[in-house]
């Protein structure tokens, strides 16, 4: 097994790493709800949640926001399908017919990362760990069910699916929309740059004393148990 974690903070990583819970290490996960390789890494995120004493912190990077919002087109379908099939081959992550033959043929749909990112923030504000639950539900909705996860009504349904009160979620979503989400995305991009990450997903493990190591998730795709064991060893300072 190749050790893919750096022994110290990568060049350009912040001296002022994000504050962490004093009782243990934090795995910072820089992601996007519409990132196919983040979906590929979903089993790794689930495994990380099972590492004792390890906190997982979410940072939505806004891959498809502003000028990068993208409508579904036949060309986009042709571009993403080979990547999606490769993800399944590497990780076993499923893609549904309603995604391939529904959403990817829905030329009225727009891929916009901002609303689902707001939904993640709203879920986390209502329940610790709720943001991670929401990311998982949104990925299922997008890649398996072929839902439009940029639509507010769909996001509200997803929130109810994972146990949130509809009214409470809608209130939190409204409060965190706009400037609060934009600020979160800007801070996530700054963290990505400081950590030396090249895109999504990027994982940065920060120890309680502030030591940071960026972990390349690529070699661990499809190896969630090995990833979990590696994180446990790193979190213990091994």
Q: How confident is the model at residue 10 (pLDDT cuts 50, 70, 90)?
A: very low
For residue 11, is it within any domain? no
For residue 15, is it within any domain? no
Q: Do 26 and 18 touch, CB atoms closer than 8 A?
A: yes
For residue 97, is it within any domain? yes
Domain that holds residue 231: 26-235
For residue 4, is it within any domain? no
Q: How confident is the model at residue 226 (pLDDT cuts 50, 70, 90)?
A: very high
DSSP secondary structure code for residue 9 in this structure: P
Q: What is the CATH number of the domain that holds 167?
A: 3.40.30.10
For residue 5, is it within any domain? no
User: 3-class SS at 183?
Assistant: helix
Q: Looking at residue 21, what is its pLDDT? A: 37
**CA distances to 114, 168, 179, 203 from 172, in Å:** 15, 6, 13, 27
Q: Which residue did the predictor score with more confidence, 9 or 237? A: 237
Check whether 33 has a pLDDT greater than 60: yes
Domains of the chain: total: 1
Distance CA 136, CA 105 (A): 23
Q: Looking at residue 12, what is its pLDDT? A: 33
Q: How confident is the model at residue 198 (pLDDT cuts 50, 70, 90)?
A: confident
Q: Looking at residue 2, what is its pLDDT? A: 28
Q: How confident is the model at residue 235 (pLDDT cuts 50, 70, 90)?
A: confident
Q: Looking at residue 23, what is its pLDDT? A: 64
- The CA angle 16-199-221, to the nearest 5 degrees, is 105
Q: Looking at residue 24, what is its pLDDT? A: 87
Query: Where are any strands of DSSP class E within 11-76?
Result: 26-31, 55-60, 70-71
Ranking 12-21, 34-43, 125-134, 137-146 by mean pLDDT, the lowest is 12-21
Q: Looking at residue 1, what is its pLDDT? A: 27
For residue 39, is it within any domain? yes
Which residues contact residue 55 at a Cβ distance below 8 angstroms, ignoring those fewer than 6 apart? 20, 21, 24, 25, 26, 27
SS (H, E, C) 145-173: CCCCCCCHHHHHHHHHHCCCCHHHHHHHH
202-206 and 26-31 strand pairing? antiparallel
């Amino acid at each position: 097994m190749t050790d893919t974690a750096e022994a110290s903070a990568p060049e350009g990583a912040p001296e002022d790493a994000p504050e962490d819970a004093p009782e243990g290490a934090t795995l910072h996960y820089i992601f996007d709800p519409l990132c196919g390789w983040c979906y590929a890494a979903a089993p790794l995120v689930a495994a990380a949640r099972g590492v004792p004493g390890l906190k997982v912190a979410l940072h939505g990077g806004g891959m498809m926001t502003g000028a990068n919002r993208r409508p579904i087109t036949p060309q986009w379908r042709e571009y993403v399908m080979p990547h999606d099939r490769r993800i399944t081959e590497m990780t076993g992550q499923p893609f549904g017919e309603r995604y391939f033959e529904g959403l990817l043929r829905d030329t009225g749909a727009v891929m916009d990362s901002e609303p689902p990112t707001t939904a993640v923030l709203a879920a986390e504000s209502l329940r610790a760990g709720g943001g991670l639950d929401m990311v998982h539900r949104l990925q299922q909705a997008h890649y398996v069910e072929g839902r439009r996860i940029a639509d507010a009504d769909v996001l509200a349904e997803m929130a109810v699916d994972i146990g949130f009160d509809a009214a409470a979620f809608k209130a939190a979503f409204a409060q965190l929309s706009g400037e609060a989400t934009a600020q979160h995305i800007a801070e996530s991009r700054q963290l990505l740059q400081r950590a030396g990450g090249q895109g999504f997903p990027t994982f940065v493990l920060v120890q309680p004393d502030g030591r940071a190591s960026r972990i390349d998730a690529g070699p661990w795709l499809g190896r969630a148990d090995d990833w979990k064991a590696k994180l446990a060893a790193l979190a213990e300072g091994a």
